[in-house]
Amino acid sequence: MDKIIFFTLVVVCSITHVVRTVYEILKHKDKLKANKLTFVIVFINMMLLWMSWVALCSFDVYKIPPAGIVKLLGVLLIGTGIIVFLTGLFTIKTLESYDGDLITKGIYSKIRHPMYTGFILWLIGFPIFFGAVFSSVLSLIFIANILFWRMLEEKELNKRFPSYKDYKKTTIF
């Protein structure tokens, strides 16, 4: 039964990644504009993505029980990811379609994409915490997907803000 739940969660998590990627591509090609409806859809999709990710890691059928220090590393990565994500979110005050000036203060003075950084830390932290081997491998695919989203966003930001190239030189990720 656990295998059925696990592989169902793999499918759900993968579909939510595909939905978000299609959305990012359509937005990048100006085929879709961010509005209240797209915000709700993206928000629900992302909540489903992250809930399915945590559940997937906990139901992973290929586990190696982690040592206490390894579990602690997972918790630290998860906690840091949450803090970085929320700091970015509360600084920019939106999950989607920010239309203000380039934000270069607060966490954005150090990290260009703190929300993506938080996501990546979660993708690494949860499999470590649960000792989830298959999820660890899957996280590499999902991290590549997030890097693709970031690449599309970087292209948009380069076009939108003339100062973005200089800003990139003073920040990471």
Q: 92: domain range?
A: 2-169
Task: Look up the CATH number of the domain holding residue 55.
Answer: 1.20.120
Does the model's pTM come out above 0.85? Answer: yes
For the cut 70, the answer to whether the pLDDT of residue 97 exceeds it is no
HEC per residue, 28-48: HCCCCCCCHHHHHHHHHHHHH
pLDDT tens digits for range 1-40:
789 999 999 999 999 999 999 999 998 998 988 788 888 8
Number of domains making up the chain: 1
* CA-based nearest residue to 125, from 80, 157, 158: 80
